[in-house]
Structure 1
Amino acid sequence: MTHPARLVTTIAAPLPFTRADDAPHLERRAGRRLLVQRGDTELIVQHLDESWATAGTGRFPAPWPRRYGHFAVSPTGDLAVFAGPHALRVVDRAGNLRWEVRHRCWAGCAGHESFAEYADQRDHRYVGSGSAGFSADGTLVWAHIRGPLALDRGRGADEWLIMAAQDGTVLARAATHTAAEGSDHVGHPDAGQMGLTIGEGQDGAPLRWGRWDGRTLAIDSFSDEDRVLLAVSPTGNRLLTVTHDQDTLALHRVTDGTVEASLSAAELPPRPAPTTEQSEAFEGDETQAFFDYEGGFADEDTVVVATVESDEEFGTGRHWLIDATRMRLTDRLAYPFEVPGLPRALGDGTWYTASATESALHLWTT
């Protein structure tokens, strides 16, 4: 069965499509709607009103090109944190450096003071990286770094830090016991909780859940299973994950990580029959669909996911509606025109997709 998706609006990207720019994305946090796009020299944040029209724009100068790390924007759009090879930097919309926390280089070098010193070094261009995220109320910055900090002595190890957003004071830190190639923070409505999904390449995808009570950072590894954290439900009560091999979606209780329900990719309807050429190119389980590393809650009881990566050799990638109360397939989404790429849910009954040239975002609802 298919379920029609209704187009709510189309939003133009603030930067023109070039290979030097990331695709834009939407964030819905603290009652605000933000459109965010990273270029090589700046980060642009557009504030959107209730009709999704632009109601103001902020531009943050970037300390290094986009390939050298990650970034995050505060819920109010007034601060941005850049997580780079050697440091975390928080800047405001005027371009002022609010604070910096330096740490051991992800490339393992002795350290650099500026981007110009390592711009042409191959080991810095193709290296792992950490990430950062603001708490729901914007008062904290959570950051995954390669320790130790500049003020420490000792060997490097992955660490999770909590810092005061206004001045960078390190409030808590703990080892993640991982060997990351990359990571992403997944926010929670409670400022004292945060998810961290870590990629170790083919070795695994450890998940960490942090809880901060104002004094101590406690980290839950949820039985050390290799799961990629995709999203937190709007109420903050449940988590959505996909296994590292992408064959199973699961719904977890936030309190202890217990799996409440799951859905196997084997339960999806079959793709159209492959051509003879496709059958010869893909054998055995290579023809089996699998879930993408992207998905989220359209609302508390509805999940939107996709199988685009595994479908692309057989035709248009498919998007799915999932009943989150039981993790049961509802319908395949049907769009009024071809929609490439992945769906990203906003938790208010909508999700969005990027246009083929990534020059606009299409906002959808059922």
Structure 2
Amino acid sequence: MNTTGDERIDVVPLGTTTARGTLRAITGGRLLVRTPGLVEVHDREDFLAGRSAGASAALRTEEHERAVPTPDGGFVVAGMSSVRALGPDGGRRWEVAHDPWHGAARAHSTPALSPDGRLVCTVVPTLEPDREKAALVYDLEPGRNYTWDDLLLLDATTGEVLDRRRIRSLASAAVASWRPDGGAVVVSCWTAWQSWSTWWAEPHADGLHVLGGTWMRALTGFLPGSRVLTQRYAEHLFLDDDRDELASFDLGSGSGSGSGEQTALLDLAELAVDPENDEFFSAEVLDGLHVLVPGRVHSGGAPELRHWLLDADTLRPLGRLNYPAPVGEDITVLGDGTWLTHDGDRLHRWALDRTAGPDRGLAPR
């Protein structure tokens, strides 16, 4: 085990509240709160202080749908066979139909709205009439044979399909996210027996320019500048598929300049006590300097949940976070250098102890 990764780093408690569901920070100091059948948008500080007067936007959803909010209080919703936009009053603005998803009767891809609210990117399935040309022969329903998925670029106002790009994926799960400056979109798809595949593309006047990608790694977040953070999981699908890793790639600053060059790599076995059994769930970009990694280690007794702090530039482990309260495996980064941990329905908010100084990798904010 890496001794640097085992060094203790203190955190500062900023308060506790109770909440149900999953939370995600979104632009404008807001929180997206998901509970079964309901998606809500709340003011972040009011919600975490327990004084929220109610959601600024809310949408009832079906189990098979996935929804993201728009800046004006509406939503973009992916369903089994279409993507649609709704206004703040729930009225339908537009709808784009596509072939039904294979497998479970639900949307496999969540739409991604560009930072300026003008573009929507999403993955959709494509039926292939010729069985011999299909990439997936779907035998549960005769005649439904699929070829590789399409990546759609839509006008967020009208729903017009601005571009359609074929990607080598038959996604059972797909995630997409725009770089904070809007200069690139990254999409990751998990395909059964083929692991994750990730592509990055730039929007241009003539559509999407797919610049490159990587295999067996999933999008995790964005680092300062033009870098993207990815995670590889030990899925044991292949002979050389037995490790967990983090890697960053430079996408460039626009105009097709992204080389896709790998800029940093961390074998998460450096953090493990028992590399054969320890698990690393995710990685979250905390701020311009740090990445948080939660994991479960087996140190001889009951499995123990730990969180580590990494240097965002090199992915070098700085140490373990020393919490004064129980924490779970889920982390919600709030975008202001603070984060939430979940302990049942209790949410604890934390900040790094900046008094440790730059010699511990904790530069003052």
TM-score (norm 2): 0.77
The Cα shift of 1:50 comes to: 8.4
CA contact (8 A) 2:150 2:165 kept: yes
Structure 1 match to 2:305: 317
Runs of 4+ in 1 over 6 A off after TM superposition: 309-313
Structure 2 match to 1:104: 99
Gap regions ≥5 residues in structure 2:
1-6, 129-144, 235-242, 253-258, 353-365
Structure 2 match to 1:188: 179
Matched residue SS, 2:269: helix
Select the residue among 249, 263, 283 that pairs with 2:266: 263
Name the CA distance, whole Å, in 2 between partners of 1:269 and 1:191: 36
Work out whether 1:252 is the aligned partner of 2:263: no
Work out whether 1:237 is the aligned partner of 2:226: yes
The Cα shift of 1:178 comes to: 0.9
RMSD across aligned positions (CA): 2.8
Matched residue SS, 1:105: coil
Matched residue SS, 1:331: strand
Structure 2 match to 1:305: 293
CA contact (8 A) 1:247 1:291 kept: yes
The Cα shift of 1:329 comes to: 0.6
Work out whether 1:138 is the aligned partner of 2:127: no
Describe the shift of the 1:360–1:46 C-alpha distance in structure 2 as closer, same or farther (beyond 3 A): farther
Select the residue among 21, 24, 30 that pairs with 2:22: 24
Name the CA distance, whole Å, in 1 between partners of 2:22 and 2:329: 13
Describe the shift of the 1:90–1:148 C-alpha distance in structure 2 as closer, same or farther (beyond 3 A): farther
Name the CA distance, whole Å, in 2 between partners of 1:100 and 1:312: 54
CA contact (8 A) 1:60 1:92 kept: no
TM-score (norm 1): 0.77
Structure 1 match to 2:108: 129
Structure 2 match to 1:64: 62
Amino acid at match of 1:130: S
Describe the shift of the 1:56–1:194 C-alpha distance in structure 2 as closer, same or farther (beyond 3 A): farther
Structure 2 match to 1:276: none
Describe the shift of the 1:101–1:198 C-alpha distance in structure 2 as closer, same or farther (beyond 3 A): same
Cα displacement string for residues 200-222 of structure 1 (whole angstroms, at most 9, x for unaligned residues):
13421000112101222111332
Matched residue SS, 1:267: helix
Matched residue SS, 1:145: strand
Name the CA distance, whole Å, in 2 between partners of 1:28 and 1:99: 23
The Cα shift of 1:163 comes to: 1.0
CA contact (8 A) 1:26 1:33 kept: no
Describe the shift of the 1:196–1:298 C-alpha distance in structure 2 as closer, same or farther (beyond 3 A): same
Describe the shift of the 1:61–1:73 C-alpha distance in structure 2 as closer, same or farther (beyond 3 A): closer
Give 1:1-366 correspondences, 5 Å limit.
1-13=7-19, 17=20, 23-29=21-27, 32-49=28-45, 53=49, 54=52, 57-65=55-63, 68-74=64-70, 76=71, 78-107=73-102, 124-125=104-105, 129-147=108-126, 156-222=147-213, 224-233=214-223, 235-245=224-234, 247-255=244-252, 256-268=259-271, 270=273, 286-287=276-277, 289-292=278-281, 294-308=282-296, 314-356=302-344, 359-366=345-352
Name the CA distance, whole Å, in 2 between partners of 1:161 and 1:312: 49
Paired residue total: 314
Name the CA distance, whole Å, in 1 between partners of 2:297 and 2:212: 28
Name the CA distance, whole Å, in 1 between partners of 2:299 and 2:29: 31
Cα displacement string for residues 214-240 of structure 1 (whole angstroms, at most 9, x for unaligned residues):
222111332x4211110002x342111
The Cα shift of 1:244 comes to: 3.4
Structure 1 match to 2:256: none
Cα displacement string for residues 253-302 of structure 1 (whole angstroms, at most 9, x for unaligned residues):
1222211111112222536xxxxxxxxxxxxx533x3422x212111121
Amino acid at match of 1:27: A
Structure 1 match to 2:238: none
CA contact (8 A) 1:308 1:342 kept: no
Describe the shift of the 1:363–1:264 C-alpha distance in structure 2 as closer, same or farther (beyond 3 A): same
Name the CA distance, whole Å, in 1 between partners of 2:66 and 2:326: 30
CA contact (8 A) 1:303 1:324 kept: yes
